[in-house]
């Protein structure tokens, strides 16, 4: 029997207020459960400063310790109890079920289980719960992935889109035909494959064309120990609302209407070790509450259009780096790129695009002006220079945006 929001919120509030040093301090003097929207927002800077003050259990109850990606600062330690691990497994089971995976599937997980990542662990747990056969070559070697595809004949793969494209390039170079291969579903993590109108972007289309597989988008945050996966309809990641509550807020912290873009703010339910209440993820997206074509009635989170702190100001216009990235990815002759932002004044940023490929600077200026409505500085660069900026040492994720403001 499903539990109501009021029950779940009251349980989370009481647990955090009683056991977390941070929340005990924040909620001091409150005798009853407040309305959720009366609770102050918490962001990554607070988590970083008070990391272990969010812990609600004795250390001997902790069974897994992972770290966040560290894309916006030092990686945080995030801890889970045995119950939290079971919650994580159930979330991933439901997410993979959204993508239509069953116990009849063999799934290749091309995601790291090491380096304190939660993702590889979570996917393994969820697929085990679903009863799938799992093969775990990780993401270190495209040739190992291709070898395991040939030997094991998996029906689905879980991977970062850029790695799926790399494997496809290696397959072409070595004469391996992925199109006629066994993989028919690709669950894509960590990078966008759709735009805000639900259309596949260049990366998503390239993967479907190269692999002959249907792609599924996901959204996940380590601190929430939760992910949302698309169903076959491809119109947003389905929320597991007994585990997670989402708000979409504007710049003033007020709720926006369904379908409008705002910052994703999350409250976890059912977490023992490190619950979070009204956590500002920094990601910007829209929430949709209309029933899905698949029959599910849970809310759906739309594509992430950018990071709140990454929003650019350019000569009176506001835009996310993803707007520029989408145009560059669609432009013939662009083989690699990176967008660099620098602070020019309080009212405008300086934006430079480094590009490698056969497209001319003048042609790219015209394309960006027409489609992104701005004309940033463009400089030709070598692939090596661009790749060094995309993936600096110690980075976990490749990025096409460098913020020097």
pLDDT band at 396 (very low <50, low <70, confident <90, very high): low
SS3 369: helix
Q: 210, 224, 217, 162: which is closest to 193 by C-alpha?
A: 217
- pLDDT > 90 fraction of the chain, expressed in percent and rounded: 82
Q: Which of residues 313 and 54 earns the better pLDDT score?
A: 54
pLDDT digits (tens, 9 = 90+) for 303-350: 998 888 888 988 878 888 988 998 998 899 999 999 999 988 888 899
Q: Give the position of tokens 């389905």.
A: 238
Measured distance CA(107)–CA(242) in Å, rounded:
27
Residue 139 has pLDDT above 60, yes or no: yes
pLDDT band at 217 (very low <50, low <70, confident <90, very high): very high
- With both helix axes pointing from N to C terminus, report the angle between 161-173 and 142-152 in degrees, rounded to the nearest 10: 80
SS3 224: helix
Which segments of 160-233 does DSSP mark as H helices, in order?
161-173, 202-211
Tokens of 165: 């494209």
- Cα-only R_g, the chain: 22
Instruction: Please provide the average confidence, as pLDDT, over all residues in the chain.
Output: 94
The gap between the terminal CA atoms of the chain, to the nearest Å, is: 50
Contact, 180 vs 213, CB < 8 A? no
Listing DSSP states for 244-304 in one string gives EEEEEE-TTSPBPPTT--EEEEEEESS-SSS--SSEEEEEEE-EE-SPPTTS--S-EE---
Q: Which of residues 87 and 2 earns the better pLDDT score?
A: 87
Mean pLDDT of the 167-188 span: 97
Q: What pLDDT, on the 0 to 100 scale, is given for residue 1?
A: 64
Contact, 183 vs 156, CB < 8 A? yes
Q: Residue 80 pairs with which residues in a beta bridge?
A: 64
Q: Give the position of tokens 């692999």.
A: 211
- With both helix axes pointing from N to C terminus, report the angle between 82-98 and 119-130 in degrees, rounded to the nearest 10: 70
Write b or e for each residue in 353-378: b if 16 or more Cβ atoms lie within 10 A of its Cβ, otherwise e. Answer: bbbbbebeeeebeebbeeebebbbeb
Residue 55 has pLDDT above 80, yes or no: yes
Residue 394 has pLDDT above 90, yes or no: no
Domains of the chain: 1-307 (3.40.50.12780), 311-403 (3.30.300.30)
Neighbouring C-beta atoms of residue 306, cutoff 10 Å: 21
Mean pLDDT of the 169-195 span: 95
Residue 26 has pLDDT above 60, yes or no: yes
Contact, 278 vs 267, CB < 8 A? yes
0.75 exceeded by pTM = yes
pLDDT band at 362 (very low <50, low <70, confident <90, very high): very high
Long-range contacts of 77-82 (CB under 8 A, 24+ apart): 77/51, 77/52, 78/118, 78/222, 78/223, 78/225, 78/274, 79/55, 79/273, 79/274, 80/225, 80/273, 80/274, 81/57, 81/272, 81/273
Measured distance CA(150)–CA(182) in Å, rounded:
9
pLDDT digits (tens, 9 = 90+) for 231-267: 999 999 999 999 999 999 999 999 999 999 999 999 9
> How far is CA 377 from each of CA 290, 314, 315, 374, 401, rounded to the nearest angstrom?
42, 12, 13, 10, 14
């Amino acid at each position: 029997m499903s539990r109501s929001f009021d029950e779940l919120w009251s349980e989370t509030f009481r647990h955090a207020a009683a056991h977390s040093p941070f929340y005990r301090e924040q909620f001091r003097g409150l005798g009853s459960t407040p309305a959720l929207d009366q609770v102050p927002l918490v962001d990554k800077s607070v988590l970083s400063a008070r990391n272990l003050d969010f812990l609600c259990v004795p250390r001997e109850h902790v069974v897994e310790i992972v770290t966040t990606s560290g894309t916006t600062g030092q990686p945080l330690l995030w801890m889970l109890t045995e119950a939290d691990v079971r919650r994580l497994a159930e979330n991933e089971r439901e997410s993979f079920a959204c993508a239509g995976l069953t116990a009849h599937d063999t799934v290749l997980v091309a995601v790291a289980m090491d380096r304190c990542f939660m993702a590889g662990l979570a996917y393994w747990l969820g697929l085990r719960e679903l009863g799938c056969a799992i093969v775990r070559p990780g993401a270190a070697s495209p040739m190992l992935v291709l070898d395991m595809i040939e030997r094991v004949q998996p029906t689905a793969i879980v991977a970062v889109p850029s790695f799926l494209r790399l494997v496809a390039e290696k397959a072409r170079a070595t004469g391996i035909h992925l199109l006629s291969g066994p993989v028919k579903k690709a669950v894509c993590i960590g990078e966008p494959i759709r735009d805000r109108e639900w259309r596949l972007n260049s990366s998503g289309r390239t993967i479907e064309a190269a692999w002959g597989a249907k792609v599924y988008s996901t959204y996940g945050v380590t601190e929430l120990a939760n992910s949302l996966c698309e169903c076959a309809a491809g119109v947003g990641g389905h929320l597991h609302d007994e585990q997670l509550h989402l708000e979409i807020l504007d710049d003033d912290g007020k709720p926006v209407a369904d379908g409008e873009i705002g910052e994703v703010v999350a409250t976890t339910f059912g977490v023992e070790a490190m619950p979070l209440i009204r956590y500002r993820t920094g990601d910007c997206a829209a929430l949709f509450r209309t029933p899905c074509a698949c029959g599910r009635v849970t809310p759906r989170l739309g594509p992430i259009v950018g990071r709140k702190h990454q929003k650019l100001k350019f000569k009176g216009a506001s835009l996310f780096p993803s707007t520029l990235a989408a145009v560059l990815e669609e432009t013939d002759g662009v083989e690699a790129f990176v967008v660099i932002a620098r602070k020019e004044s309080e009212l405008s940023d300086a934006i430079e695009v480094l590009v490698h490929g056969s497209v001319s600077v003048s042609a790219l200026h015209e394309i960006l002006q027409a489609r992104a409505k701005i004309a940033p500085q463009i400089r030709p660069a070598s692939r090596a220079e661009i790749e060094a900026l995309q993936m600096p040492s110690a980075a976990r994720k490749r990025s096409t945006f460098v913020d020097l403001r």
